[in-house]
Structure 1
Amino acid sequence: MFTLLVTQSLRNRLLVLALAAVLVVYGAFTATKLPVDVFPDLNRPTVTIMTEAEGLAPQEVEQLVTFPVETQMNGLPGVTRVRSVSGVGLSVIYVEFDWGTDIYRNRQQVSERLAMVRPQLPPTVNPMMGPVSSIMGQIVMVALSGGTVSPMQLRELADFTIRPRLLAIPGVAQVIPMGGEVRQFRVAPQPTALRALGVTHAQLETALAQFGTNTGGGFTDQYAREYLIRNLGRTMNLDDLRNMVVATVNNRPIYLRQVAEVSFAARVKRGDSGYMGSPAVVVSVEKQPGVDTVRLTREVEAALKDITASLNACGAGKGGSGPSLAEPAGEACAFKGVRADQLIFRQANFIETSIHNVETVLMEAVAVVAVVLFAFLLNVRTTAISLTAIPVSILATAV
């Protein structure tokens, strides 16, 4: 058989050369399109369910949140294991499915079961599924700092400008900002004023729950036309909150500013982040399974450079092209000096270093093989012919 193969190859040299050339060219083209990652995805299809239950201890989280959700997940088709972690105000459940199942079908089944279990949970608890991410999902961590911007403004920049921009890149699964200060309204009731004006805490709570919302009032018919009735109350202005009517006593409106102190304040922190010894907002970028880490990292870096340039472009939004990223609140140069391209972790570095090491070792191995072949064969032509098998074999594996 081997003699026949060699004989036929010698008789059809041009055909053999043409097939080898096609393998080399197609293999080289395919090799440039192969996705590159640190490790292959060896995890079973897994759906993560995260539930925040503020104010609950781990025991209550286990009894009131984790156990009902676990009970619903155990009967799903294809489920091989259900694991959970209950902490202070947080429940995390991992639902693992069998090999070969479709992750999107699995998520649909989990979503249906979550809709069934929601009435059994506390009123303020809302379980949510985590994104479809890879085993080595975290590919980039970037620090957001610089300028004279407050931690609260930095966090808002990360939440409402950087995060939506990065999520628009194909292949990005999740963008998680950490650190900074989350803005919220702070209302500090004054008990003396409440008693003097005859306002109860229940009235105060009810009024605050209705603040900043738009409501509909149906429609009305006038002159053979229908007109929608809308109550436009959505606002984030602090003065609007201060001037909100809390109650009516003796036909006299009682405003919130009369019974409470109103201001902006930071949400209670459960952690913090920093960069180079200073407070900062750190943004973590996670990728979807099967996406080329190196390519996606370069796209994320290009987007971060564009954002940084826009933040420091004074007056860029005053022309006819509309407002720039530097003016989210209508103020020019509000974020001047802020840098959004300071990488503190880049997973692609490990991949690029490994590929470079493989290329170096491969070149050294070719040189050593060439010397050994020539030492034994003492013929340059025969050595060259033998060495051509190396690139053909390597590139053929990529086909």
Structure 2
Amino acid sequence: MIEKLISVSLRNRVMVLLIAAFLFAWGLYSVQTNKVDAIPDLSENQVIVFTEWMGRSPQLIEDQITYPLVTNLQGLPQVKYVRGTSMFGMSFIYVIFDDDTDVYWARERVLERLSSVGNTLPDDATPTLGPDGTGVGHILWYTLDAPGMDLGEQRAIQDWYVKFGLQNVEGVSEVASFGGFQKQYQITLDPNKLTYYNLSIPQVIQAVRANNNESGGRKFELSDIGYIIKTTGYLESAEQIENIAVVTNNTIPVRVKDVASVQMTGESRLGIFDLNATGEAVGGIVVMRYGENAAEVIKNVKDKMEEVSKGLPKGAKFNIVYDRSGLINESINSVRNTLIEEMIIASVVVFLFLFHWRSALIIMIQLPLSVAIGFILLNAFGISSNIMSLTGIALSIGVIVDDAIVMVENAYRHLAEANN
């Protein structure tokens, strides 16, 4: 079989050269379009269901949320197993699918099941899907360097400006905020005053909710001009909350400030983020979407950061804490240099032993052609250029060189014997 293949190749040299040129051009295109990352993604094909029910103990979360969700999600098609974790105020469900299952098809199946499970959960607990990323999707961490600005203002800028800007980048699944204080109006009730005015906590909550709302009327026409009638009722300050009337006793309103104190403060935190022992910081984690090109996404995020930074307050800027692009570039450069060195050394060795430049040229052509074909296969199987795949190509160079030297030396010997 091999003899026939060699014979056909020798009789059709032009065709062989054209096929080799086509494969090499295809390989170069594959090198440019192949997804690049530092490490291979070996995480499981999973969908995360997150439910927040703050103020509840882990045992209550387990009984009321985690257990009902786990038992109802186990019957999904192509599911290997379902894992659940309960903690204070939060529940995490990990639905693990088969490796060949499309991740977005899996998310649709989970959403369909959640629509029917929601009736068994508490009214104020709504399960949501986690980001469509993987365990190695954290490609960039950053903090806000804003001297003179308190942590609450920094967190507000991160949540309501920076986060929305970076989430628009192609390939970004989520920008998770961390650190600082999330501002909120906090109403602290006095039990003695509630008893004095014969009020309950639900009455105060209902009064605040009813007064923090907007409602629309109808269209009113006057002198051929249409006016839209609406009421503006959103609360904008602590003083407005204090003046809300809870009930009226003998034409005298009992306001919130009569039974409670109102202040703006930060939401209760379960931890803090400290940067290099210099104090607390506010920032975000950029999570890459499943199957994206890590190097390209990081580049686009950095470009977007330059655009977003123009709208930051004076003196504020981004401080990149973790950037995977450095590891990616070092890995790619290291393997690329190794491939070039191996091709040069192999060609020099063949030339020194055979003293035949055409034989050395054959090896120099064969090595980059083989590497290019390897990238065609990487794209075909959806494998990214990472430390593992590129190292495998580098190791295979040794086998390619051995085969090339044996074949070239054997052909050279037969040609020498035929000439003699």
Find the counterpart in structure 2 of residue 282 from structure 1.
Answer: 283
Q: 2:79 touches 2:96 (CA, 8 Å); kept in 1?
A: yes
Contiguous gaps of at least 5 residues in structure 2: 377-420
Q: What percent identity do the matched residue pairs reach?
A: 29
Q: 1:38 touches 1:136 (CA, 8 Å); kept in 2?
A: no
Q: TM-score, normalised by structure 1?
A: 0.85
Amino acid at match of 1:279: E
1:239 aligns with 2:239: yes
Residue 63 of structure 1 and its aligned partner are, at CA, apart by 1.2
Amino acid at match of 2:110: V
Q: 1:31 touches 1:398 (CA, 8 Å); kept in 2?
A: yes
Q: 2:220 touches 2:229 (CA, 8 Å); kept in 1?
A: no
Supply the distance in 2 between the matched residues of 1:114 and 1:293 (Cα, whole angstroms).
31
Find the counterpart in structure 2 of residue 352 from structure 1.
Answer: 329
Aligned residues: 374
Amino acid at match of 1:301: K
1:386 aligns with 2:387: no
Q: Over residues 363-396 of structure 1, what are the superposed CA-to-partner deviations in whole Å (9 max), with x where a residue is unaligned?
A: 2212221221012211223212321111111112
Q: Over residues 289-339 of structure 1, what are the superposed CA-to-partner deviations in whole Å (9 max), with x where a residue is unaligned?
A: 11010110111111112222x1xxxxxxxxxxxxxx34xxxxxxxx22111
Supply the distance in 2 between the matched residues of 1:355 and 1:145 (Cα, whole angstroms).
31
Secondary structure of the residue aligned to 1:96 is strand
Find the counterpart in structure 2 of residue 93 from structure 1.
Answer: 93
Amino acid at match of 1:291: E
Q: 1:35 touches 1:291 (CA, 8 Å); kept in 2?
A: yes
1:371 aligns with 2:348: yes
Amino acid at match of 2:323: R
Q: 1:273 touches 1:282 (CA, 8 Å); kept in 2?
A: no
Residue 23 of structure 1 and its aligned partner are, at CA, apart by 1.9
Q: 1:41 touches 1:289 (CA, 8 Å); kept in 2?
A: no
Superposition map of 1:289-300 within 5 A: 289-300=290-301
Amino acid at match of 2:170: P
Secondary structure of the residue aligned to 2:283 is strand
Supply the distance in 2 between the matched residues of 1:305 and 1:204 (Cα, whole angstroms).
46
Supply the distance in 1 between the matched residues of 2:135 and 2:334 (Cα, whole angstroms).
24
Q: When you count helix as a share of all residues, which structure comes out higher? A: 2
Find the counterpart in structure 2 of residue 320 from structure 1.
Answer: none
Q: Over residues 133-154 of structure 1, what are the superposed CA-to-partner deviations in whole Å (9 max), with x where a residue is unaligned?
A: 1231111111112221110010
Find the counterpart in structure 1 of residue 308 from structure 2.
Answer: 307
Residue 88 of structure 1 and its aligned partner are, at CA, apart by 1.9
Find the counterpart in structure 2 of residue 273 from structure 1.
Answer: 273
Supply the distance in 1 between the matched residues of 2:12 and 2:52 (Cα, whole angstroms).
71
Q: 2:344 touches 2:364 (CA, 8 Å); kept in 1?
A: no
Q: 1:131 touches 1:173 (CA, 8 Å); kept in 2?
A: yes
Find the counterpart in structure 2 of residue 111 from structure 1.
Answer: 111
Amino acid at match of 2:172: V
Say if 1:117 and 1:363 are closer, same or farther in 2 by CA, change over 3 A.
Answer: same
Q: 1:245 touches 1:254 (CA, 8 Å); kept in 2?
A: yes
Find the counterpart in structure 2 of residue 51 from structure 1.
Answer: 51
Superposition map of 1:4-83 within 5 A: 4-83=4-83
Residue 257 of structure 1 and its aligned partner are, at CA, apart by 3.5
Find the counterpart in structure 2 of residue 316 from structure 1.
Answer: none
Superposition map of 1:191-202 within 5 A: 201-202=201-202
Supply the distance in 2 between the matched residues of 1:199 and 1:386 (Cα, whole angstroms).
90
Supply the distance in 2 between the matched residues of 1:169 and 1:161 (Cα, whole angstroms).
14
Supply the distance in 1 between the matched residues of 2:32 and 2:207 (Cα, whole angstroms).
61
Q: 2:220 touches 2:228 (CA, 8 Å); kept in 1?
A: no
Secondary structure of the residue aligned to 2:124 is coil
Say if 1:122 and 1:230 are closer, same or farther in 2 by CA, change over 3 A.
Answer: same
Supply the distance in 2 between the matched residues of 1:168 and 1:289 (Cα, whole angstroms).
16
Q: 2:141 touches 2:286 (CA, 8 Å); kept in 1?
A: yes
Say if 1:282 and 1:71 are closer, same or farther in 2 by CA, change over 3 A.
Answer: same
Residue 58 of structure 1 and its aligned partner are, at CA, apart by 1.9
Find the counterpart in structure 2 of residue 332 from structure 1.
Answer: none
Secondary structure of the residue aligned to 2:119 is helix
Secondary structure of the residue aligned to 2:248 is strand
Say if 1:337 and 1:125 are closer, same or farther in 2 by CA, change over 3 A.
Answer: same
Supply the distance in 1 between the matched residues of 2:308 and 2:36 (Cα, whole angstroms).
26
Q: 1:173 touches 1:288 (CA, 8 Å); kept in 2?
A: yes
Find the counterpart in structure 2 of residue 337 from structure 1.
Answer: 315
Q: TM-score, normalised by structure 2?
A: 0.81
RMSD: 2.6
Superposition map of 1:112-127 within 5 A: 112-127=112-127
Supply the distance in 1 between the matched residues of 2:43 and 2:270 (Cα, whole angstroms).
30
Supply the distance in 1 between the matched residues of 2:10 and 2:116 (Cα, whole angstroms).
71
Secondary structure of the residue aligned to 2:54 is coil
Further displaced range: 163-172 or 255-264: 255-264
Superposition map of 1:202-221 within 5 A: 202-216=202-216
Secondary structure of the residue aligned to 2:375 is coil
Secondary structure of the residue aligned to 1:177 is strand
Secondary structure of the residue aligned to 1:274 is coil
Q: Over residues 210-268 of structure 1, what are the superposed CA-to-partner deviations in whole Å (9 max), with x where a residue is unaligned?
A: 24222356x58989x99976443124333332332332222233433444322210111
1:256 aligns with 2:248: no
Superposition map of 1:135-214 within 5 A: 135-190=135-190, 201-214=201-214
Amino acid at match of 2:357: V
Residue 68 of structure 1 and its aligned partner are, at CA, apart by 0.8
Amino acid at match of 1:363: I
